[in-house]
């Protein structure tokens, strides 16, 4: 019996076994009868993982199917870039003197009021976003959401009176939260299952495109333009990603799972054949996905009823799913003070007196997190979600511990303040390496199809609630508690590691429908960690 090792184990994240049971032994003999070398590999306990192990070429990132899919996913990614603009533009323009003069925001309370209106819009939009994606489809959901964002951006950019800006902030908030359920559902549902983690990671990473362009545009024009262009232009540029989506989205295919839910099976099959099956309608990957969608996607499910949110909580498995979604939102937000707002204050507390140096330290955040995200996305599908999340949270906990120690001792050793800030950058890199991809990926994976869009909308609502609390509590805590306030974040980070170990299921190497099987098991975490032996053939 010839069992040979090749690079496949490394590529798909599996390891060779030394022994095989009787069934595997028979499969090896059958393969060898055709003059091929047999190889036993260990994969996640799923049909999809076994299929991928047998079809190396179809899972190649350079296959024709995936090369056709990349431009389509890029269009979806622009929704995340639009959110990056929306979430970062106001913070910069609100400090511009001409903006403050026109809208009277030189008083902190007035500025906070306008900033909070965006969150109010998010809350209102959360109840529309899920039904929009379910009823009209993922493509039309993105189209409508981007129109709303463009209207909000235009109203803000053209605002002459305070009430105009109030209206623009609310409309923009509604539109921005509507982007997520449609775009995230679309990305996770149309991505090739072998690269779902990579694609969803890149989706969330594109947030930094908007953040970086917005931040540096404001920095570049603030002193080089006359009149009010230095705040109106950034407000208008927010609409740039929306234009790309509106121009291209109807050249993209609809989500095959949404089509199946509407009884349009032939269209779904054709899309999977083109983008997952190398043009072969009988390809094993295509057939597996079609079989699973027939079994799991309900043509009369609650996604057809805009008011019905019961599938988020009506079973033990559904409650476990929503618990995980809420955990990702909580531990992904309450891990450190929101540095995008308060890095200058943290630097000041660490002894940095130069305003220019504090602004530079603030501007470095997005590039560092972008690099971390781009480097981390590939490992999500190799190492798996659980170990990556626990590893990232462990590094983050260590960094917060060092920040606490350095901040506590900096009065006696002034240089330690800067050492503590350096650990903040390590924290940001480690966080972006794993948590940034998983914040979009994991909730979209664990939610069942009929609950996905509404669940992601509720996730957006929860994120805004947690972010709002952290944003407004952090400056008070840092001002009054100093370094002691960071201990709260250290406790949350450590608690996050425990929760990930106890409750988070592993979704690597499974189709979306196979993830449903995990939550149907009495012990979901154990079920998600089971392995299986797969025999694959290698040409001699």
- Domain coordinates in residue numbering, the chain: 45-298, 312-509
Q: What is the pLDDT along the chain (540 residues), one digit of tens a residue?
A: 333 333 333 333 333 333 445 555 555 555 455 555 555 545 555 677 777 766 665 568 888 889 999 999 999 999 999 988 877 777 777 777 788 888 876 655 555 677 778 888 988 999 999 999 999 999 999 999 999 999 999 999 999 998 999 999 999 999 999 999 999 999 999 999 888 989 999 999 899 888 888 877 877 776 666 778 888 888 898 899 999 999 999 999 999 999 999 999 999 999 999 999 889 999 888 998 999 888 888 765 655 666 778 888 888 999 999 999 999 999 998 877 666 555 666 677 667 777 667 767 777 888 899 999 999 998 988 899 999 999 999 999 999 999 888 888 877 777 787 888 888 899 999 999 999 999 999 999 999 988 898 999 999 889 888 887 887 777 777 778 877 888 999 999 999 999 999 999 999 888 888 898 899 999 999 989 887 655 545 554
pTM of the complete model: 0.81
Comparing CA positions, the residue from 432, 426, 438 lying closest to residue 500 is 438
Fold identical between 45-298 and 312-509? yes
**In degrees, to the nearest 5, what angle opens at C-alpha 28 toward C-alphas 25 and 30?**
115
* CATH level 2 (architecture), domain 45-298: Up-down Bundle (1.20)
Look at domain 312-509 and name its CATH class.
mainly alpha
3-state helix, strand, coil in the chain (%, to 5): 75, 5, 20
Is the CA virtual torsion 124, 339, 197, 244 positive or negative? positive
**In degrees, to the nearest 5, what angle opens at C-alpha 373 toward C-alphas 47 and 222?**
150
Secondary structure of residue 389 in the 3-state scheme: helix
Six-digit token string for 97: 């003197």
> What local confidence, expressed as pLDDT, does residue 468 receive?
79
Q: CA 321 to CA 317: how far, in whole Å?
A: 6
Instruction: Give the end-to-end CA distance of the chain in Å, rounded to a whole number.
Output: 14
> What local confidence, expressed as pLDDT, does residue 29 receive?
53
> What local confidence, expressed as pLDDT, does residue 221 receive?
75
Q: CA 349 to CA 195: how far, in whole Å?
A: 43
Q: CA 137 to CA 354: how far, in whole Å?
A: 51
Count CB atoms within 10 A of the CB of residue 498: 11
């Amino acid at each position: 019996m010839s069992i040979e090792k090749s690079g496949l184990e490394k590529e798909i994240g599996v390891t060779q076994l030394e022994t095989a049971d009787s069934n595997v032994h028979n499969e090896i003999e059958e393969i060898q009868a055709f003059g091929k070398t047999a190889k036993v590999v260990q994969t996640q306990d799923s049909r999809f993982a076994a299929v991928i192990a047998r079809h190396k070429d179809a899972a190649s990132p350079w296959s024709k199917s995936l090369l056709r899919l990349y431009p389509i996913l890029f269009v979806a990614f622009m929704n995340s870039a639009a959110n990056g603009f929306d979430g970062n533009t106001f913070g910069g323009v609100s400090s511009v003197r001409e903006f403050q003069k026109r809208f009277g925001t030189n008083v902190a309370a007035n500025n906070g009021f306008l900033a909070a209106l965006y969150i109010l819009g998010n809350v209102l939009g959360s109840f529309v976003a899920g039904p929009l994606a379910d009823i009209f489809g993922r493509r039309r959901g993105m189209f409508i959401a981007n129109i709303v964002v463009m209207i909000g951006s235009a109203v803000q950019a053209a605002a002459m009176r305070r009430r105009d800006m109030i209206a623009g902030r609310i409309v923009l908030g509604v539109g921005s939260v509507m982007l997520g359920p449609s775009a995230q559902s679309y990305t996770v549902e149309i991505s090739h299952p072998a690269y779902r983690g990579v694609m969803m990671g890149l989706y969330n990473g594109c947030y930094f495109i908007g953040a970086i362009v917005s931040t540096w545009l404001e920095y570049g024009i603030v002193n080089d333009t006359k009149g009010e262009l230095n705040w109106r232009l950034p407000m208008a540029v927010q609409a740039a990603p929306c234009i790309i989506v509106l121009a291209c989205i109807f050249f993209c295919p609809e989500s095959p799972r949404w089509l199946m839910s509407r009884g349009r099976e032939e269209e779904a099959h054709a899309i999977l054949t083109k983008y997952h099956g190398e043009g072969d309608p009988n390809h094993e990957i295509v057939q597996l996905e079609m079989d699973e969608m027939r079994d799991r996607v309900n043509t009369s499910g609650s996604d057809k009823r805009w008011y019905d949110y019961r599938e988020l909580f009506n079973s033990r498995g559904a409650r476990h799913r929503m618990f995980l979604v809420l955990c990702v939102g909580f531990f992904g937000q309450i891990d450190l003070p929101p540095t995008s707002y308060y890095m200058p204050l943290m630097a000041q507390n660490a002894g940095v007196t130069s305003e220019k140096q504090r602004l530079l330290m603030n501007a470095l955040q997005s590039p560092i997190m972008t690099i971390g995200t781009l480097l981390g996305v590939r490992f999500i599908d190799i190492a798996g979600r659980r170990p990556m999340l626990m590893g990232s949270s462990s590094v983050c906990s260590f960094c917060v511990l060092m920040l606490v120690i350095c901040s506590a001792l900096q009065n006696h050793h002034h240089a330690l303040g800067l050492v503590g800030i350096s650990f903040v950058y390590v924290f940001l890199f480690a966080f972006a390496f794993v948590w940034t991809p998983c914040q979009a990926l994991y909730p979209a994976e664990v939610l069942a199809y009929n609950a996905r869009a509404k669940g992601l909308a509720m996730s957006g609502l929860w994120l805004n609630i947690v972010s709002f609390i952290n944003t407004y509590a952090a400056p008070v805590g840092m001002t009054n508690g100093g370094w002691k306030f960071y201990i709260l974040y250290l406790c949350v980070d450590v608690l996050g590691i425990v929760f990930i170990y106890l409750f988070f299921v592993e979704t690597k190497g499974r189709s979306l429908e196979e993830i449903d099987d995990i939550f149907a098991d009495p012990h979901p975490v154990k079920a998600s960690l089971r392995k299986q032996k797969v025999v694959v053939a290698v040409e001699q």
